[in-house]
Amino acid sequence: MLAEYLDQLLDTFKDAICITDREGTIVYLNRRHSELTGIPKEDLLGKSAIEMMRHGVFDVVLNPEIVKTRQGTTSIQNISTGRKLFLDGSPILDRDGEVVYVVTFMRDVTTLMELKRELASQKELLDAFQSLSSASPERTENYPVMLHSSVMRRLCEQLEGIAETDATVLLLGDTGTGKDVLARRLHAASPRAGKPFIKADCASIPANLIETELFGYTPGTFSGGNRHGKMGLVEAAAGGTLFLDEIGELPMPMQSRLLRLLQDREVMRVGSTTSARVDVRIVAATNKDLEKEVREGRFRSDLYYRLKVAVIRIPPLRQRKADIVPLAQGFLKFYCAKYRRRLTLSAEAEDALREHHWPGNVRELENLIQGLVVTCQRTAIEPRDMPFVRPVPPKASPCPDPATGVDIEGRNFKDIMRELEGRVLRQALARYGTIAEVAKQFGVDRSTIFRKMKGGDE
């Protein structure tokens, strides 16, 4: 009775079923098999599955391995329609334990595989964003604005007008003038504000890695690379803004690839033969004279003119003195909150800041204020705390040391050395920028530097 309805029973399965004998001849197929493979049952029954694999009809057959091992196994089969089938084969044994039939269940996993690839792509994008997070939200929100001088107010008005368009922007200015801050301001004022802002520092990425960092690579391109491939910074910035800092350092081969991106709005991963459209706005910045670089053959003229659409020239800090004290006050507020300190700038200290030449521009000012917040032991910062101000011995001191400028009269050795160390460390911090770099230059552990800047003993 059961045999009479066996075909109907097996046709109710959502999985395809294929039964072969021990030689690999197909003896049974249910209806679902034809639906998945697109091959009529009549064309397969009685044929050798092994021979059909050799002729390219199938790319995987489980029969030989199951007959040999008498154990079940699984695999993935690709068929001509583009579908992927999960194969789950099991042996049917006789009384002597020999394989007489192999039953293979076949399930369509195309959608599952596509979902897996999509999840991998989303993870890749998430990893890219996490690794590219170059500024904390706190820093971005509380960073001092640079709109106090008339020249900077006019510049920012110009920037906001450009932000409404999708034009490529070239920011020119000395090191430390605030090109990064203005690039972020432009992005925030643009219709792309809710999309990614990705910064690529062309000077810091090694030449042998810059192509894959910018454009990514396909799976299998490199031994030891990500087996799923890697998304480049250009793709990570899709829909938003790609900020190419220090673009004057970009190697010639990469200049050609960037030119294609600007011309065609297409990106091709390393190892790929096809390109993909990408919607990204390019903002570039450099402290170099690109016209001179073009004349001397170090920068492509066609790329230069592609970049030279909307040009913003940022003046050095010494040419906008009205910004100096407000910026210093902003940095002081920011770092006092960060280090839980309460400090002010004296009027004399503000005058000293205005008179300084500021070769390092806004970055030098920020590093100076950060160091003073860490090291100043009083509630007000005075000119004598600044490394570029020559110390003046107090009039009441009869015996200032001409070599150090430190007043030693009536003071113990520990206090004298603490003041001397503080001056040296503040000067080093202003020069090298971070406590870690000062420690590296001085050859000591950075905890030692931090402790001494806080006024602690060994």
* pLDDT given at position 8: 87
Does 320-453 match 118-315 at the fold level?
no
| Cβ-contact 270, 234 below 8 angstroms | no
Looking at residue 242, its pLDDT comes to 95
Residues with Cβ within 8 Å of residue 145, at least 6 apart in sequence: 330
Q: Checking DSSP bridges between strand 84-93 and strand 380-381, what pairing results, if any?
A: unpaired
Separation of alpha carbons 247 and 230, rounded Å: 23
Q: What is the mean pLDDT of the chain?
A: 84
Q: Which of the pair, 417 or 360, is modelled with greater confidence?
A: 360
Contact 218, 227 (CB under 8 A): no
- Residue 52 and residue 30: Cα distance in Å, rounded? 18
CB atoms within 10 A of CB 258: 24
State the Cα–Cα distance between residues 22 and 19, nearest whole angstrom: 10
Of the two residues 321 and 410, the one the predictor is more confident about is: 321
Q: Average of pLDDT values for 276-302?
A: 94
2-6, 138-142, 206-210, 423-427: which range is least confident on average?
138-142
Q: pLDDT category, 117, cuts 50, 70, 90?
A: low
Q: What is the pLDDT of residue 405?
A: 60
Q: Which pLDDT belongs to residue 173? A: 94
Q: What is the pLDDT of residue 359?
A: 92
The mean per-residue pLDDT over the stretch 176-196 comes to 92
pLDDT at 14: 84
Query: Could you give the CA distance from residue 448 to residue 458 in angstroms, rounded to a whole number?
Result: 8
Task: Give the CA distances from residue 191 to residues 258, 268, 281, in Å, rounded to whole numbers and listed in that order.
Answer: 23, 26, 11
Kindly state the average pLDDT of the residues 15-44. Answer: 90
Phi-psi region at 316: left, alpha or beta (left = phi > 0; alpha = psi -120 to 50): beta
Q: Bridge partners of 75? A: 87
Going 230 to 235 to 240 to 245, the CA torsion angle's sign is positive
Interval 272-285 mean pLDDT:
92
Cβ–Cβ < 8 Å for 422, 375:
yes
Of residues 59 and 293, more confidence is placed in: 293
Asked if residues 83 and 106 have their Cβ atoms less than 8 Å apart, the reply is: no
pLDDT digits (tens, 9 = 90+) for 123-171: 555 555 544 544 444 444 556 666 678 899 899 899 999 999 999 999 9
Better-predicted residue by pLDDT, 212 or 393: 212
Q: How far apart are CA 287 and CA 184, in angstroms?
A: 17
For residue 398, name the pLDDT band (cuts at 50, 70, 90): very low
Ranges of each domain in the chain: 3-108, 118-315, 320-453
pLDDT of the residue at 121: 60
Q: What's the CATH code, domain 118-315?
A: 3.40.50.300
Query: 320-453: what fold?
Result: Helicase, Ruva Protein; domain 3 (1.10.8)
Beta strands 84-93 and 73-78 are antiparallel
Query: Which residues, including other chains, have CB under 8 Å from residue 257's CB and lie 6 or more apart?
Result: 211, 214, 215
Q: Is the pLDDT of residue 391 over 90?
A: no
Question: The tokens of 179 are what?
Answer: 């090109």
Residue 325, pLDDT above cutoff 70: yes
Other beta carbons less than 10 A from residue 233's beta carbon: 24
- Percentage of the residues of the chain whose pLDDT score is greater than 90: 50
- Of 52-61, 261-270, 406-415, 417-426, where does the model show the most confidence? 261-270
Residue 124: predicted pLDDT: 57
Q: Please name the residues in contact with 231: beta carbons below 8 A apart, sequence gap of 6 or more.
A: 121, 124, 125, 128, 216
Give the C-alpha separation, 64 to 82, whole Å: 25
Share above pLDDT 70 across residues of the chain, in percent, rounded to a whole number: 84
pLDDT-based confidence at residue 57 (cuts at 50, 70, 90):
confident
Q: Determine which of 43-52, 115-124, 256-265, 369-378 has the lowest per-residue pLDDT on average.
A: 115-124
pLDDT at 2: 66
Q: Is the dihedral of CA 395, 399, 400, 402 positive or negative?
A: positive
Segment 400-409 mean pLDDT:
61
Please tell me the CATH superfamily of domain 3-108, with its number: PAS domain (3.30.450.20)
Would you state the pLDDT for residue 138? Answer: 46
Q: 206 and 345 in contact (C-beta within 8 Å)?
A: no
